[in-house]
Structure 1
Amino acid sequence: MLRGLALFIGQRRWQTWVPWVLPALLPLFFGAFPGVGSFVHDAYLKAFDTDAEAVGVSAVWQLYAATRWGALVLILLFGPALYGYARHFHLSRLDRIPVLVTLLAVLFALCDWGTTRFVLGPAAKTGTTAVSQASSGNIPSSYYGIEPEWVCVAPLAGQAAEEIPVQGGAFEPARPLLHLGASGGNVVLWDTGADRKSGKDNRTLTLPLSRLRISPTDDPRGTCGASGRQR
């Protein structure tokens, strides 16, 4: 690729090669914005039926996750490198439009493939693996600032579990839940047990953090007491 880029740049004045090469470097600038990393977190958290905003991923970790977009730079530079070889071997003359259109089509296809193959695809696969680990009673590995942890959760004194507003299903304080994160005064928990109403398992629950007592637990298969600690 480097040889192709050298041929491409050597055959043209800087006014003509910069418009080709500069867009290929955009993923580096694109990834410099913290919010871009949330796409990676969202792909991971989709398996948990939640997103980066809900679990409160910090801007620092979003910025770090955004570095994965750097893989697209190599893919986008493939176009100018290929064109450099084409000009060198006289396969293209006078910047014919069909050649440019073909190269652009190839670049778009490669960009789409690269995004799936190197950025969002691996994140989604890791999320699916994390769900499988949680369903088996294990602790999923951390992922760019997301630190899953098994916890016991109980209402604060004087409150019943039925009084706690919850999104995603019934709140069962008797069993450990997987803590995914918290944001905006709410905590996001993953419940692998069956809902007593729907019978559905593997549910994402969102509850108000200020009304709960949360304690870490080492046994996701155990039982939690009314105090929010494992029995």
Structure 2
Amino acid sequence: MTPVIAFFCVLAGLLTWVYLVVEPSSEAGGRARADLTAHRVPASYLGLAPKPVCVTPVVPLHTLPFEGQLLEPNKVYASFGAVDGKLTLWDPSTQESFPVPAGKVRVMPAGTDEQGSAVPGNCPARVRG
């Protein structure tokens, strides 16, 4: 096999992988984003299972450190779980993710875990100072 033919075989394999793996995951991510924005429980994809949650600080809100976005306790966020003491939340209205200290908030499910089921438009806010 000549190097040119080998190159095109590798290239064809790479393009096939991109088409079969990368593109479907971006479509699944787009569907999950659309579901969350429309207040529906999204399907999991590639092992990620974003859960609609209500997040209430257990410390006074003004003392809660933030990175990128302030926590609004009356909003429904998507949670991707906690890692290294930080809870990653995704805000459907801004379409941005941000961390909050997991030990300084209480997380409650918003709606059910059933894919496609309705999620409330907001959370009952119970905020300390």
Give the TM-score band, short-chain normalised.
0.7 to 0.9
Work out whether residues 146 and 180 of structure 1, in 8 Å CA contact, stay in contact via their aligned partners in 2: yes
1:205-226, CA deviations, whole angstroms, 9 ceiling, x for partnerless residues? 2111011111112133033221
Structure 2 CA distance, aligned partners of 1:184 and 1:100?
50
Q: Are 1:217 and 2:117 matched, yes or no?
A: no
Work out whether residues 191 and 202 of structure 1, in 8 Å CA contact, stay in contact via their aligned partners in 2: yes
User: What's the CA shift for 1:144?
Assistant: 3.6
Secondary structure of 1:153's partner? Answer: strand
TM-score, length of structure 1 as denominator length: 0.48
Secondary structure of 2:98's partner? Answer: strand
Distance 1:173 1:214, change over 3 A: same
**Greater per-residue strand proportion:** 2
Structure 1 CA distance, aligned partners of 2:3 and 2:41?
49
For 1:139-154, list aligned pairs within 5 A. 139-154=41-56
Which of 103, 111, 114 is residue 5 of structure 2 equivalent to?
A: 103
Structure 2 CA distance, aligned partners of 1:111 and 1:220?
45
Q: Partner of 2:85 in structure 1?
A: 185
1:130-162, CA deviations, whole angstroms, 9 ceiling, x for partnerless residues? 111111111110124322111110111xx2223
Q: Give 5+ residue unaligned stretches, structure 1.
A: 1-98, 194-200
User: What's the CA shift for 1:112?
Assistant: 2.2
> Which has the higher relative contact order, 1 or 2, with Cα contacts under 8 A spaced 6 or more apart?
2
Work out whether residues 33 and 92 of structure 2, in 8 Å CA contact, stay in contact via their aligned partners in 1: no
User: What's the CA shift for 1:109?
Assistant: 1.3
Work out whether residues 52 and 77 of structure 2, in 8 Å CA contact, stay in contact via their aligned partners in 1: yes
- Tell me how many residue pairs correspond in the alignment: 120
Structure 2 CA distance, aligned partners of 1:167 and 1:139?
26
Structure 2 CA distance, aligned partners of 1:190 and 1:121?
22
Q: Give 5+ residue unaligned stretches, structure 2.
A: 112-118
The ranges of structure 1 where at least 4 consecutive aligned residues each deviate by more than 3 angstroms after the TM superposition are none
Structure 1 CA distance, aligned partners of 2:47 and 2:27?
17
Work out whether residues 25 and 46 of structure 2, in 8 Å CA contact, stay in contact via their aligned partners in 1: no
Q: Partner of 1:203 in structure 2?
A: 96
TM-score, length of structure 2 as denominator length: 0.82
Work out whether residues 147 and 181 of structure 1, in 8 Å CA contact, stay in contact via their aligned partners in 2: no
Structure 2 CA distance, aligned partners of 1:209 and 1:166?
12
Structure 2 CA distance, aligned partners of 1:203 and 1:211?
21
For 1:37-116, list aligned pairs within 5 A. 99-116=1-18
Distance 1:115 1:182, change over 3 A: same
